[in-house]
Amino acid sequence: MAPTTHTELPEELASFIKDWRDRPGNLIMILHRVQQHYGYLPELVADEVCRRTSIAASQLYGVATFYNYFNLSPPGKHRVAVCMGTACYLKGAGALTEELRNHLNVEVNGVTQDKQFSLQEVRCVGCCGLAPVVMVDDEVHGKLGPEGVQALLDKCQEND
Amino acid sequence: MINLRIDGIPVEVAPGATVLDAALAAGVDVPRLCAHEDLSPSGGCRMCMVEVDGTSGLQPSCTLEARDGMDVATETDPIVAHRKITLDGFVSDHPLDCVTCEKAGACELQKYCYRYDISGTTMGFDLQRTMVQDDNPAFLRDHKYCILCGRCVRVCEEIVGAKAIQFADRGSSTYVATTFDRPLEESTCVFCGSCVEVCPTAALLPKSSIGKGREWELGRQRSVCSYCGVGCRLEYRTRTVTGLNGPRTEIVRAEGFPEAPVNGSFLCSKGRYGWDYAAHPNRLTKPLIRKDLAYEMGLTDEPWDVPDQSPLKAKPAVAREGFVETDWETALSVVADRLARAAETYGPGAVAGLASARCSNEDNYVFQKMMRGAVGTNNVDHCARLCHASTVAGLARAFGSGAMTNSIREIRHADCIFITGSNTSEAHPVIGYEVMRAVRDGASLIVVDPRRIPITEHATLHLQAKSGTDIWIFMAMMRVIRDENLADEEFITQRTEGFPAFAAGLDDITVEEAARQSGVSEDKIRTAARIYAGGIRQEGESRYPEVREAGRGRSTILYAMGITQRSNGTELVLTLANLSMLCGQIGKPSTGVNPLRGQGNVQGACDLGALPNVYPGYQKVDDPAIRSRIADLWSVPADDLDERPGLTVVEMMHSVLDDTVKAMIFMGENPMISDPNGAHVEEALRHVGFLAVADIFLTETAQLAHVVLPATSAMEKVGTFTNTERRVQLGSSVIEPPGEARPDWQFIGEIGRRVAERLGRTSLRWEWDDAAAVMEEIAAVAPIYGGVRHSRAAGDGVNWPCPDLDHPGTPILHVGEFKRGKGAFHAVTPKAPAELPDEEYPFVLSTGRMLYHYHTGTMSRRSEVLDWKQKRGYVEVNTADAEKLGVTDGEPLVIESRRGKIRTAARVGTVVPPGMVFVPFHFREAAANLLTQDENLDPTAKIPELKMCAVRVTNPAVQSA
Amino acid sequence: MAFTSYCLVCGGIGCEASSADTIYQRICDGVDAAGILDDVQVVKTGCFGFCEQGPIVKVLPDESFYVQVSPDDAESIVTEHLVKGRAVDRLQYREKGSEATPSKAISFYQKQVRIVLRNCGFIDPEDIEEYIARSGYVGLEKALFAMTPDDIISELKASGLRGRGGGGFSTAKKWLFSKQASAHQKYIVCNADEGDPGAYMDRSVLEGDPYSILEAMVIAGYTVGADKGFVYVRAEYPLAIRRLQHAIGQAVDRGLLGENILGSGFSFSVEIRLGAGAFVCGEETALLMSVEGKRGMPVQRPPYPAVKGLWGKPTVINNVETLANIPVILTKGGKWFSKIGSETSRGTKVFALTGKINNSGLIEVPMGITLRDIIFNIGGGIPNGKAFKAVQTGGPSGGMITAEHLDTPIDYETLTELGSMMGSGGMIVMDEDDSMVDVAKFYLGFTVDESCGKCVPCRIGGRKIWKLLDTFAAGNGTLEDLEQIERIGAWMKTSSLCGLGKTAPNPALSSIQHFRSEYLTEETV
Ligand SMILES: Nc1nc2c(c(=O)[nH]1)N[C@H]1C(S)=C(S)[C@@H](COP(=O)(O)OP(=O)(O)OC[C@H]3O[C@@H](n4cnc5c(=O)[nH]c(N)nc54)[C@H](O)[C@@H]3O)O[C@H]1N2
Ligand SMILES: Nc1nc2c(c(=O)[nH]1)N[C@H]1C(S)=C(S)[C@@H](COP(=O)(O)OP(=O)(O)OC[C@H]3O[C@@H](n4cnc5c(=O)[nH]c(N)nc54)[C@H](O)[C@@H]3O)O[C@H]1N2
Ligand SMILES: Cc1cc2nc3c(=O)[nH]c(=O)nc-3n(C[C@H](O)[C@H](O)[C@H](O)COP(=O)(O)O)c2cc1C
Ligand code: SF4
Ligand code: SF4
Ligand code: SF4
Ligand code: SF4
Ligand code: SF4
Ligand code: FES
Ligand code: FES
Ligand SMILES: [Mo]
């Protein structure tokens, strides 16, 4: 049985869900859209998605936890992702992660206390030629050494 | 067929079978931890890997399709080495706590570790899952024992259809989770325990048996579930405890078992967890006499008056104070005396009795024999009147027999399932599983029901017809079928009669009008017609090769109270019969018109003549030839047997108030809560000169009785129960009866003997050594049970008609020929419900069931798990109406009809459409039957219209403000 | 209208990440300001492949190859080159300190043969006309109007094309199985999940030449009798997704996709489905689960997807690169294709050459080329004068190949014989500084993270090997531990459910085989 309580959804999301409601295999596409909107998958919104579609809540949860891309808790304002693909790894991505952890004082997959940054490791962003690579939000920063980390973070906050 | 060899053993299997299936067929026990015979293969545990000659390496036998000429080896050195290291891996992430583990002895992991000599890991012990979830009284989830075989996830989705659990996370962090790890209660779990049943390890454990003994110490007793008409067989696991009164048997849990003919390993929450009522401290242990009568008899010196307060409101402990305990002799004498006296004074017709669909065939046989033979009246009826009376009337007219035309296991192979007026997943859950299997296999499912009941989630089409308008849909479907030439002309000409008159009647029906009446789109009606008529699947190919040639798949109709509890119930049943005959969807496997009978033994109670118009075996009381045959068998003069049909349930209550019925005896019925217009029932029961009630608890009805007789429950007696598919199955005595409780047939027989003696009918026989002996007599009296014996009812049971000992039984009726010869079409015109909403009472009230409770709640509300799951009553109300009424979920509402009013909690949602409310009738504190109507009975079947009446719904908070 | 010169700005992800877009904008603005809009066409293309030197700008017809361009250089490119026709010398690529090297002469491109990447770096991936202008949709036209499905399969068979997603299964056979399966509904799925960490071949095709994939899918649909296709793209490739979506729109508008394609009566539609960060979803059965909106847990084969795939229906699933070959094969003929490459492996292979290598980037080479050619000629050798140690092909599923095998001509079979595999095309070069134990541990860490958890050997075995490697990395491993890795590795290889688990121990096993001394010190032996 679908949950009975309602959660208001933004118009754009609601119409996306309506569009996809009867399309087979819709779940992952809908989750992408929810995450695009909220930055993560809020529990109540997930329930609402199930209510509006015929997706079983357990399936949603199973899927949301299976795929690395989906977050179940709010990310930081800026998403800092260190590429841990092979090329970057060989070129010292490990040290970069280390440096970022120290700078931000946060573990991988964590969010800084001030909610400004979340730190992640990702697998190959497809810029291996620029290894090692760090992505900040949608921007790729290549050939980055540990010494460049501070400047990178500063720049990020300047732009705010 | 496919022929192959397993370890050299030749074996033949059906196409599509796996190598594992073939191995098991060859008697080779290939190790397996994720495979399960009822579930789709997973291939995750890798234990079942085998070698196939001509291919390199190992392959999992559970996913590999068997092919002609395969030569398979299942236990070579490389395979053994592989299994050893696989188990080594398993136990590196699993504590081998076998010494104290609850599962030891029944654990499949332990079994294979023993077989392959694995007592620990070489890989380093490193436990990945440590969570223990103890959030419900049914079962414990201890993740450290979980080997991620996925059986639980699959059974929950594939068989139960609940989808409560799923794998979460991945890799070595994978675990089985509810959504957002919420407590199981907040998930869609229906507490069927199927996951526990299939779990190979101790990861899922029934709480009731924890600490109560090791696997090998527990006893086993197979029996039949004492609740609904599906008639699941189960195995009670027991232990012996020694108390003050010496040793006694205690049930510690219930299990399904693969060979169970209907249900296999699976049960619903009631079968799985609802057995503990039998050991409830409130059980009746001694005969009781009401204090006023006791005073009259000198058994007490305190005068006493029946209190004015309704038993619906009384506390059980207080209720007891109105009675004194007595011995059986006294109790039986007084009952016999009162019944006989009424018969003597006012004639046999002044006595009326209700038999019971909760009691065994033997109990019911003896009861009606007592009423007919000893008292001399046909005033015997039972709750079937409120239930499938219209089925019995309708199907008898159309086909000649009023039972399910096909068997339950055929449902899984149907191409189309048409469900109407049956909340299958709540009222017949295990039949719901059967429907799930078919749907998973690609069958289409059409549901016609005003409510969005759980099964609609799996439906191809849900035609949410407004309450009482379904008949328009059925008729319009037939119009479409006729107009589009989808009818089975050949079947109609060869097997039926009355078609022209019926067909002409369809001219007055249009799809447009049906859509207008029902609120269902024309399109849906047309599509439903085409799918049903053609047996069109959603996916895949029919199981039946003939279907491919005929071009018509197999469609089966399942229906229940939504059709029968109607003022035109008989006509509705005839309509469904028309529909099936029109399309030739009857008389073949996986087709038919299948009334899902409700009570565990309602089929049997009807079969054995607990009806006012027939002797056992549906032999008409008003047929002189039959009467004299029965008289011979009973050795009474034929004139002693009443020649007129007796009173029906509702008529009995009316007759009490007309002063034509003076004394009553009820065995296992609780009309105070189950009969319509409760206030009227209470008035009658307070009014009647004498009332005896045999029950296992001091029910609301028993509280008004003069004498209360303590019966053994199904758990404490041997007897047969006939399930909805006419399968007669033997129930066994599992535990000792509490106190002095006795089997119904014994003490009813005693009453019969005494009454008969008083009335001079001394030739009647009442002595049976045991229930098996009663069955011997039944076999002689009821030809359809001619070949039924306890020996045959044990095990898989036998489906009647079964005329003699050599007859194998009849799972499908009307093959080749209808019971009545030709199937009869009946012209029917749509009729509206009797009491329609109006300005004063603007809502339609429907009443019925919910999954966890059973009828008047005497048993299910005394079961720990069931009671925990649903403590109180409620009223389903649509979100839009709730908004208008200003209530939110859980807040109280007052429901009022022309007959009474109740107050209960709102359950806000979209199960009911706007303008409709639904109240389950299980809860005495909000008794639905205070609202329902006992007028406007179906003219043929005399069934009350329990599925609709007009009510007013108000919010008490708003009123008082 | 003919332009006199073309200015191609690399819009590949590497260059894009280093301000290629700003460079492109500024050049456009400059051209506009200079009033030479009618003479010069500025195009932002897909990846040139030579990512090491990005951002790259190429000017045609004179083949000037500007590397490491910054936004500020845009002005001189416009004023000097595009207006005055004088190449900007300081930006030109110089091979080994020599003169400015025109693109044709650059050794990075010398040994390459571009079939899959034929359009990458040449066309505007957002303009279907440019694709059509370079013989786009000739193959489809031929297929629809001049060939029967059986003809197409014969042509593919003649070409010898094998799947580029890693398995190397004959594409002709796969299509034939699916064609032979009887069903009302069939599907074509393009596997664009590209999960190998350190590989981005498919991304470049999707971003640089999305039309070729769509064209190939229609051909596949026509051949096997499918009318619906899905492209499963990793969500980490937003640009690829955008370009693909755009391409689908244009193709539909041009009648090259959708109802009644080119008036042939054949209809075929394509939808995009996104991955969500799970390497295992590159595995075909897991991918199909994912398209169905489920957890990407593989399903035991057989049955193969060609017979029982998406929603139980026959489904052809092909890799991006495989598909990109198809239109060319139909245009130029299977025979032509079969002449390229080695005996068992025809055609070319795209590799993402990365790691400790001078010219990292995307290359397309004929099958049968030697590793030495790739690493030392195309790749320009190892930087900083370090010695070559090993190269890993096949990503986390592959193995390490050492110097002694550098001269092996590479194809599906030879790589497998060397204990590695072709994989999807990642090629990671390691130098003397790299610890093979660490690299093995890195890969195992990856597969342990990415294991779906369904089957025991992979779920448990992988983690055990990883833990043992950790022991070795800390210098505490024993001979017994080493043997345990081998034992568990053998178990995983023989009995895991899907390719992920079957191949996951490879990096550990091959590094033990080739670099045993890095595992066992003198004391531990
Ligand atoms: N858990 C549980 N199971 C039981 C029982 C129980 O008490 N509890 N009782 C047993 C007994 S004795 C019986 S008879 C069966 C009854 O089993 P069911 O008949 O399945 O149960 P009900 O809840 O009475 O309602 C049947 C359905 O009729 C629908 N309905 C209401 N109005 C209409 C209408 O106008 N047209 C149509 N077509 N449908 C309508 C309701 O929405 C509901 O889904 O269950 C048996 N099983
Ligand atoms: N409003 C409304 N009313 C309805 C219905 C509805 O849908 N709506 N449905 C109707 C239907 S279909 C039915 S079948 C009836 C059911 O109505 P009832 O048969 O009155 O209901 P039960 O609660 O099953 O009552 C059976 C009684 O038998 C007792 N009992 C159990 N086992 C034994 C035993 O072994 N021996 C004896 N002697 N007693 C035993 C139980 O404690 C219980 O008191 O309700 C009907 N009433
Ligand atoms: C773990 C694993 C990951 C894979 N990842 C990819 C991938 O990213 N892209 C791909 O095309 N094929 C991948 N494959 C191969 C696919 O399963 C499949 O063989 C391929 O898509 C078929 O297409 P082809 O015949 O065109 O190569 C992977 C296989 C495995 C076992
Ligand atoms: S679950 Fe089985 S193997 Fe595990 S401790 Fe219990 S009995 Fe032993
Ligand atoms: S008890 Fe039944 S519904 Fe609940 S999780 Fe287990 S199988 Fe699913
Ligand atoms: S809980 Fe039991 S049935 Fe479920 S996955 Fe774990 S071991 Fe298997
Ligand atoms: S379906 Fe009926 S018979 Fe079966 S377990 Fe449930 S209540 Fe008992
Ligand atoms: S081998 Fe690994 S990824 Fe593949 S099914 Fe098994 S656990 Fe999943
Ligand atoms: S490995 Fe980091 S971008 Fe590919
Ligand atoms: S039983 Fe076949 S893999 Fe588990
Ligand atoms: Mo019933």
pLDDT in tens, C293-332: 999 999 999 999 999 999 999 999 999 999 999 999 999 9
Q: What is the pLDDT of residue A128?
A: 82
Q: Using the predicted structure, report yes or no on whether residue B952 has a pLDDT greater than 50.
A: yes
Pair of tokens at residue B471: 């008949």
What average pLDDT does the segment B709-738 reach? Answer: 94
A58 with B908: Cβ contact below 8 A: no
Q: Using the predicted structure, report yes or no on whether residue A3 has a pLDDT greater than 50.
A: no
A1 with B454: Cβ contact below 8 A: yes
CA distance B908 to B927: 19
CA distance B564 to B577: 13
Q: What is the pLDDT of residue C423?
A: 87
CA distance B903 to B895: 6
Beta bridge partners of C270: C229
- Determine contact: C182 vs chain B, CB below 8 A: no
B61 C-alpha vs ligand 10 centroid, how far in Å? 7
Q: Tell me the nearest-neighbour CA distance from B170 into chain C, angstroms.
A: 5
Of the pLDDT bands very low, low, confident and very high (cuts 50, 70, 90), residue B960 is low
Helix (H) or strand (E) holding B365: helix B361-369
- Determine contact: C277 vs chain A, CB below 8 A: yes
What average pLDDT does the segment C326-348 reach? Answer: 95
Instruction: Tell whether omega for the bond before C303 is within 30 degrees of 0, i.e. cis.
Output: yes
Residues 161-220 of C with CB under 8 A from A: 194-200, 203
Q: Which residue's alpha carbon is at the smallest distance from atom 31 of ligand 1?
A: B562
Kindly report the average pLDDT of chain B as a whole number.
Answer: 94
Q: Using the predicted structure, report yes or no on whether residue B605 has a pLDDT greater than 60.
A: yes
pLDDT in tens, B237-283: 999 999 888 899 999 999 999 999 999 999 999 999 999 999 999 99
E-assigned strand segments in C323-409: 348-355, 361-366, 388-393, 400-402
Q: Looking at beta carbons, which residues of chain C come within 8 Å of B57?
A: 494
Cβ of residue C318 lying under 6 Å from some atom of ligand 3: yes
Q: In what order do the strands lie in the sheet with C57-60?
A: C40-45, C5-10, C57-60, C64-66
pLDDT in tens, C67-121: 999 999 999 999 999 998 888 988 999 887 678 888 888 888 888 899 999 999 8
Q: Among C444, C452, C456, C494, which residue has the most ligand 8 atoms within 8 Å of its CB, making it the best to mutate?
A: C452
Q: CB neighbours (10 Å) of residue A92?
A: 16
Of the pLDDT bands very low, low, confident and very high (cuts 50, 70, 90), residue A8 is confident
CA distance C251 to C137: 10
A87 with C355: Cβ contact below 8 A: yes
CA distance B91 to B125: 8
Q: Using the predicted structure, report yes or no on whether residue B317 has a pLDDT greater than 80.
A: no
Q: What's the sign of the alpha-carbon dihedral B878, B880, B884, B890?
A: positive
CA distance C26 to C32: 10
Q: Using the predicted structure, report yes or no on whether residue B695 has a pLDDT greater than 70.
A: yes
pLDDT in tens, A12-33: 999 999 999 999 999 999 999 9
Q: Tell me the nearest-neighbour CA distance from A88 into chain C, angstroms.
A: 8
Q: CB neighbours (10 Å) of residue B794?
A: 15
Q: Which of B684, B695, B600 is nearest to B352 (CA)?
A: B684
Cβ of residue B931 lying under 6 Å from some atom of ligand 6: no
Q: Tell me the nearest-neighbour CA distance from B188 into chain A, angstroms.
A: 6
Q: Using the predicted structure, report yes or no on whether residue A2 has a pLDDT greater than 50.
A: no
Phi, psi of C65 (to 5 degrees): -125, 95
Q: Using the predicted structure, report yes or no on whether residue A4 has a pLDDT greater than 80.
A: no
Q: Looking at beta carbons, which residues of chain B come within 8 Å of A57?
A: 163, 179, 187-188
CA distances (Å), origin C472, targets C435, C443, C465, C475, C524: 11, 15, 10, 5, 10
Q: In what order do the strands lie in the sheet with B798-799?
A: B719-722, B727-731, B798-799
- Determine contact: C286 vs chain B, CB below 8 A: no
What average pLDDT does the segment B63-84 reach? Answer: 96
Q: Looking at beta carbons, which residues of chain B come within 8 Å of C300?
A: 41, 43, 60, 63
Q: Using the predicted structure, report yes or no on whether residue C406 has a pLDDT greater than 60.
A: yes
Percent of chain B having pLDDT more than 70? 100
Q: Nearest by CB to B166, from A1, A4, A58: name it.
A: A58
Q: Looking at beta carbons, which residues of chain C come within 8 Å of B109?
A: none
Q: What is the pLDDT of residue B699?
A: 93
Percent of chain B having pLDDT more than 90? 90
Q: What is the pLDDT of residue C9?
A: 93
Q: Tell me the nearest-neighbour CA distance from B729 into chain A, angstroms.
A: 34
- Determine contact: B85 vs chain C, CB below 8 A: yes
Q: Which of C298, C290, C320 is nearest to C504 (CA)?
A: C298
Of the pLDDT bands very low, low, confident and very high (cuts 50, 70, 90), residue A123 is confident
What average pLDDT does the segment B742-750 reach? Answer: 96
Of the pLDDT bands very low, low, confident and very high (cuts 50, 70, 90), residue A1 is very low
CA distances (Å), origin B97, targets B79, B104, B110: 26, 9, 10
A43 with B180: Cβ contact below 8 A: yes
- Determine contact: C101 vs chain A, CB below 8 A: no
- Determine contact: B49 vs chain C, CB below 8 A: yes
Q: Identify the nearest ligand to the CA of B155 by its number.
A: 5
Q: What is the pLDDT of residue C522?
A: 64
Q: Using the predicted structure, report yes or no on whether residue B59 has a pLDDT greater than 70.
A: yes
B146 C-alpha vs ligand 4 centroid, how far in Å? 10
B45 with C299: Cβ contact below 8 A: no
Q: Nearest by CB to B92, from C312, C462, C464: name it.
A: C464
By CA distance, what is B541's nearest residue in C?
A: C183
Q: Tell me the nearest-neighbour CA distance from B521 into chain C, angstroms.
A: 28
CA distance A4 to B878: 11
pLDDT in tens, C417-439: 988 899 889 999 999 999 999 99
Q: Using the predicted structure, report yes or no on whether residue B599 has a pLDDT greater than 50.
A: yes
Pair of tokens at residue B408: 């339950």
Q: Which of B123, B66, B589, B280 is nearest to C467 (CA)?
A: B123
Asked if this assembly's ipTM is beyond 0.90, the reply is yes
Decide: residue C99, CB within 10 A, 0-12 exposed, 13-18 middle, 19+ buried. Answer: exposed
C290 C-alpha vs ligand 10 centroid, how far in Å? 22
Sequence-separated (6 or more) residues with CB below 8 Å from residue B315: none
What average pLDDT does the segment B365-371 reach? Answer: 96
What average pLDDT does the segment B753-762 reach? Answer: 92
Q: Using the predicted structure, report yes or no on whether residue B132 has a pLDDT greater than 60.
A: yes
CA distance A71 to B871: 37
Cβ of residue C477 lying under 6 Å from some atom of ligand 3: no
Of the pLDDT bands very low, low, confident and very high (cuts 50, 70, 90), residue A156 is confident
Protein residues near ligand 11, an ion, with CB under 5 A: B 387, 598
Q: What is the pLDDT of residue B622?
A: 92
Q: What is the pLDDT of residue C472?
A: 95
Q: What is the pLDDT of residue B723?
A: 94
Instruction: Report yes or no: A37 and A10 within 8 Å, Cβ to Cβ.
Output: yes
